[in-house]
Amino acid sequence: MAWDEWEQLKSDAAARGSARMQLNQYPADQGGGGPAGAASGGLKSDKKAWVKAGEGVKGLVDGVGKALTNLAEGQAGLGDTGGCRSAAAQKDLYESWRRYVGDVSSRCDGLGGLLMGAGHDLSKSDQAVREELDKLQLKYKDTEAVGGRTKEK
């Protein structure tokens, strides 16, 4: 989920007026007997869960790599595309998908690393986490569509 979507969800929740739950501090008027700043009994974060999620996302890299290999094997033997417009379009489409699937692999690797580190990073500020997610989003900005356009020669 992009950061701006998260901000919109928080804004929508605030607009509905349901401000009874606040996750960024322990409510002072509850008198729960716990020390100031202690987490409530129902809110927990498990480092192992974050690491497992990160490993799962990083594990997608192998499958994506196999798909990329299959894509290359399926494209092999196309040869010269100069005399056939559909062959030239297929080559353009292949190049676009090869680049895109490669980016998906890198994105899985990067996101998996972020998830694995999240157990440690939960103490970071929202701004620090946002900056890391923005870097990832900027790095893997989607490519433009290739099909349906005629190329100038």
Domain membership of residue 146 (yes or no) is no
Count other C-beta atoms under 10 Å from residue 97's C-beta: 17
Domain membership of residue 44 (yes or no) is no
Count other C-beta atoms under 10 Å from residue 116's C-beta: 20
**Does the reported pTM lie above 0.85?**
no
Domain ranges, residue 71: 58-76+83-141
Domain membership of residue 38 (yes or no) is no
Domain membership of residue 49 (yes or no) is no
Q: How many domains does the chain have?
A: 1
Do residues 26 and 36 make contact, with C-beta atoms less than 8 angstroms apart?
yes
Q: Give mean pLDDT, residues 40-61.
A: 78
- Percent of the chain surpassing pLDDT 70: 66
What is the reported pLDDT for 49? 83
Average of per-residue pLDDT values in the chain: 74
Measured torsion, CA atoms of residues 77, 81, 83, 86, in degrees rounded to the nearest 10: 100
Q: Is pLDDT at 143 greater than 60 in this prediction?
A: yes
Domain membership of residue 10 (yes or no) is no
Domain membership of residue 147 (yes or no) is no
Q: Is pLDDT at 60 greater than 80 in this prediction?
A: yes
Residue in the structure block whose two tokens are 């676009």: 96
What is the reported pLDDT for 142? 72
Domain membership of residue 21 (yes or no) is no
